[in-house]
Amino acid sequence: MKQNDKSSFTGLILMAAILIIFNVFVFNNAEEISENENTETIHNSENSNTVTETTISNSTEESIETTETLVEQDYILENDKIKLIFSNKKGEIKSAIVKGFYTYDEYRKNLDDNSYQSKDVEIFNNKNSDFTITADRGISTNEFFSVSENNNSITFRKDYENNAFIEYTYTLEDNTNFADFTINSEGINNPELVWTIATPQTEKSKDNQKEYTGFYYQESYSKDVDYTWDNDKFEVNAFNTELSWIAFKQQFFSTIITSKKNNFNNNTEFQINVNEEDEYIKTLSLRTELEEGENNYSIYFGDNDYNKLKSYNTELENIIPLGWGIFGWVNRVIIINIFDFLQNTSGISSFGLIILLLTLIIKISLAPFTYKSYLSQAKMKVLKPEIDKITEKHKEKDPMKSQKETMGLYRKAGVNPMGGCLPMLFQFPILIAMFRFFPASMDLRQNAFLWADDLSAFDSVYDLGFNIPMYGDHISLFTLLMTVSTLIYTHMNSQMTTNQMPGMKWMMYLMPIMFLGFFNNYASALSYYYFLANVFTFSQMYFMRKFVDDNALLAQIEANKKKPAKKKSKFQKKLEEMQKNQEKNIKNKKKK
């Protein structure tokens, strides 16, 4: 072997030996270090939503580092009515669920599949909601709390420097929609609570739900209830006094916080934000000052059922918008009682039939007044030829004298020109009361009748696929039926009216067309009720025409003319006095 070859061979052996030694002693250690680094990286990424507390202790030869991590966890209080989910992060209610009800989407799934059983409504969660207490020295509850559980209660506690702390205790008993809530603090100066609830869409109509979503609150002294539905910045309550309870009200569900110890002070403020692009209906924010020490509350999570809320004897039923004044009185005293009676005693399960019976009872109750109205209109119709002669005689000379002679004719004939307005005095409050009652009735929610799948929302027999301004993106058949029947009634009524102005006549035909667009997106039960009311009115007018003979009525009027004129009523005297004053004013203007 040549010397060069021997040198090359020796070099190859040395290189191989170096590679083997390097691989054994260096590469293996590098892989172990790499594995340890990767393990730490994975561990840190898995705990990205944690807070880390580190302590270091020294042994004789080395330092040992120990790590404690705080991870966000859920805690639950639950009974057969509600389910509350809490978080140790901020100690807030993470989710509030009312049992036994569907959202509209879940309700539709159940209609398609009767075995579908997801019967829970989440009335808020902490995705866009927030519960925070702030105080002096930068104290905030936007941190992790320690947690202790005891049977039906959970306590969250956060300790600060100098033995200061904030503590929440939630307690939920069986078979109730109320949870007791206590805020206890020490060493916390000027604490202030801001509670924000983003209300999710739970109903068919987002517009209707938006209309009935806002704050209701009760003044602690007078027990009066006020509300605010639209304000985009924090505003002091309208009473500007202490408040007993505050309701985050949605159309059919509410979160109501009641003060058990200290009332909400007069600086309590409300804010309501509406974003058309947002998935939520509205965002409701409450800001109120707390007292250091104990603040005791009771929170209601549940449905807006009138009788249920009324049973608590704290005026909570006033969060249901049944109308003001006489309209609210009609709903509370008449409509709700009749509706409950029919629901509980008739044995009828269909709310469509219950509404039919309700309409029939109302129309029969008003029948005597309707008959008097029809009789008055019939007399006016019989007298129309004579009234036309008087009008023609004085139309260019003295219009005031024409009115005077016309009133004299009415008095001799025994006709009250205002008699036709009598039924409206009774019907109008009922019509307005129904306008408030049906969209707010918990009993009608998600109850179907004929083609309407939810009587508390609009019915749709055809989806247009596009939106028509002032009308909507669907066709409501109940609204069409109501509009057509109203036009027919308007035509029949105009035939009975003798002295209607031409402009007013066309206005009467225009009103039902305008209502077509409005009621198309409103509760189908309301359009259904108005349609039934028109149908019953047609029937009443048909039978009245059978019983009222125009010739006999004319003969009676002629006989009344021969009798001594009746004593003038206060109304007639007042009307004549107004006519005289009007004549004087006209004459004075002519002299000038």
- Cβ atoms of 376 and 423 within 8 Å: the answer is no
End position of a domain, from candidates 320, 352, 375: 320
Q: What percent of the chain has pLDDT over 70?
A: 70
295 and 165 together in one domain: yes
User: Residue 381 pLDDT > 90, yes or no?
Assistant: no
Domain check: are 345 and 310 in the same one? no
Task: Name beta bridge partners: 300.
Answer: 178, 256
- Same-domain status, 90 and 227: yes
Q: What is the DSSP letter of 190?
A: S
The answer, yes or no, to whether residue 95 has pLDDT greater than 90, is: yes
Residue 247 within a domain = yes
pLDDT over 90 (residue 309)? yes
**DSSP string for 499-528:** S--HHHHHHHHHHHHHHHHHHTTS-HHHHH
Q: Mean pLDDT throughout 472-482?
A: 92
3-state helix, strand, coil in the chain (%, to 5): 45, 25, 30
Looking at residues 235-244, what average pLDDT do you find?
Answer: 89
How confident is residue 588, by pLDDT bands cut at 50, 70 and 90? Answer: low
Question: Is residue 317 within 8 Å of residue 306, measured between CB atoms?
Answer: yes
What distance lies between CA 344 and its chain's CA centroid?
25
Contact criterion met (CB below 8 Å) for 225 and 237 = no
Per the DSSP assignment, residues forming a β-bridge with 162 are none
What pLDDT is recorded for position 441?
93
Which region among 245-259, 295-309, 499-513 has the lowest average model confidence (pLDDT)? 499-513
User: 253 and 345 share a domain?
Assistant: no
Instruction: Supply 186's token pair.
Output: 């020490």
Q: Which residue type does 84 have?
A: L
pLDDT of residue 27: 45
Query: What does the pLDDT read at residue 572?
Result: 58
Token pair of 414 as six digits? 């025994």
Supply 471's token pair.
Answer: 């009308």
Distance of alpha carbon 73 from alpha carbon 85, whole angstroms: 10
Range of the structural domain that residue 290 is part of: 75-320
Looking up residue 307, the CATH number of its domain turns out to be 2.70.98.90
Cβ pair 515, 486 in contact under 8 A: yes
Average pLDDT over all residues of the chain: 79
Q: Do residues 309 and 414 share a domain?
A: no
Same domain for 312 and 446, yes or no, is no
What six digits make up the tokens of 158?
Answer: 């956060």
Between vectors from CA 436 to CA 488 and to CA 285, what angle results, nearest 5°? Answer: 145
Provide the pLDDT for residue 455.
Answer: 94
For the purposes of burial, counting CB atoms within 10 Å of the CB of 535, is it exposed (0-12), middle (13-18) or buried (19 or more)? middle
Instruction: Kindly report, residue by residue over 492-525, the tens digit of the pLDDT.
Output: 777 655 555 555 566 777 777 888 888 999 999 9
Domain contains 390: yes
Number of structural domains found in the chain = 2
Of 36-40, 171-175, 199-203, 517-521, give the lowest mean pLDDT range. Answer: 36-40
| CB-facing half-sphere around the CA of 16: CA atoms within 13 A | 6
Same domain assignment for residues 307 and 369: no
Which of 109, 89, 226 minimizes the C-alpha distance to 168?
Answer: 89
Local confidence band at 565 (pLDDT 50, 70, 90 cut-offs): low
Neighbours of 120 (CB within 10 A): 15
Sheet holding 146-150, edge to edge: 146-150, 153-159, 165-172, 178-186, 294-303, 253-259, 243-249, 214-219, 225-228
Residue 480 lies in a domain: no
Question: 316 and 374: one domain?
Answer: no
Per-residue pLDDT, averaged over 196-218, amounts to 92
d(CA 24, CA 28): 6
pTM of the predicted structure, to 2 decimals? 0.76
Q: Name, in order, each residue with C-beta under 8 angstroms of 265's C-beta and a sequence gap of 6 or more.
A: 242, 288, 289
Does the pLDDT at position 77 exceed 80? yes
Given a cut of 80, is residue 142 above it in pLDDT?
yes
Which is more confident, 542 or 49? 542
371 in the same domain as 296: no
Taking only the tens place, the pLDDT of each residue in 395-451 is 666 666 666 666 766 666 666 666 566 666 778 888 889 999 999 999 999 999 999
**Lowest-confidence segment of 116-125, 265-274, 565-574, 575-584 by average pLDDT:** 565-574
297 has a pLDDT exceeding 90: yes
Q: Is residue 271 part of a domain?
A: yes
Q: Are residues 447 and 398 both part of a single domain?
A: yes
388-399 per-position pLDDT tens digit: 676 666 666 666
Check if the beta carbon of residue 264 is closer than 8 Å to that of residue 304. no
Q: Is residue 513 part of a domain?
A: no
Cα distance from N-terminal residue to C-terminal residue, the chain: 149
Rg over alpha carbons for the chain, rounded to the nearest Å, is 38
Residues 106 and 255 in one domain: yes
The rounded distance, in Å, linking the Cα atoms of 128 and 126 is 5
pLDDT band at 148 (very low <50, low <70, confident <90, very high): very high
Q: Is residue 465 part of a domain?
A: no
17-45 burial, b for 16+ CB within 10 Å, e for fewer? Answer: eeeeeeeeeeeeeeeeeeeeeeeeeeeee
Query: 29 in a domain, yes or no?
Result: no
- Mark whether 87 and 199 lie in a shared domain: yes
219 belongs to a structural domain: yes
